[in-house]
Amino acid sequence: AQTVTQSQPEMSVQEAETVTLSCTYDTSESDYYLFWYKQPPSRQMILVIRQEAYKQQNATENRFSVNFQKAAKSFSLKISDSQLGDAAMYFCAYGASRQLTFGSGTQLTVLP
């Protein structure tokens, strides 16, 4: 079974600084997707960024970028120029065969 591990239960960052959230996963598949979801206190699950495993180029979405290391099975999220609105729980997730498996989440606090 696929597993997703987020080793940082909590992180904090100063406003305007950069923070990196870690994620590792375990799979024997070669074709899959990786995601980062944000869950603010409103509890809505918001897709932040998506990476297709067959693409070597790291995905970017404005201030959000990933470092995808397929051989190491690592998928970290970098948030640049952190804003107060980035404060939320962040979940790393693995998707394959129509099943999405989540990590345990990282609670990000942004300090003014």
Partner 1 sequence: DTAVSQTPKYLVTQMGNDKSIKCEQNLGHDTMYWYKQDSKKFLKIMFSYNNKELIINETVPNRFSPKSPDKAHLNLHINSLELGDSAVYFCASSQEDYGYTFGSGTRLTVV
Is 35 a residue that touches partner 1 (CB under 8 A)? yes
Residue 49 has φ and ψ, to the nearest 5°, of -160, 150
Stretch that binds partner 1, among 10-18, 44-52, 63-71, 74-82 (CB under 8 A): 44-52
d(CA 103, CA 94): 9
Identified binder of partner 1 from the candidate list 25, 91, 92, 110, rule CB under 8 A: 91
Q: Give 24 or 80: the residue with its C-beta nearer to partner 1.
A: 24
Residue 30 as a binder of partner 1 (CB under 8 A): the answer is: no
Kind of pairing between the strands at 74-79 and 19-21: antiparallel
Residues 24-61 as b/e (b if ≥16 CB within 10 A, e otherwise) read bbebeeeebebbbbbeeeeeeeeebbebebeeeeebee
* In the complex, minimum distance from the CB of residue 58 to partner 1, in angstroms, rounded to a whole number: 18
Q: Which residues bind partner 1 (CB under 8 A)?
A: 32-33, 35, 37, 39, 42-45, 47, 50, 89, 91, 93, 95-102, 104-105
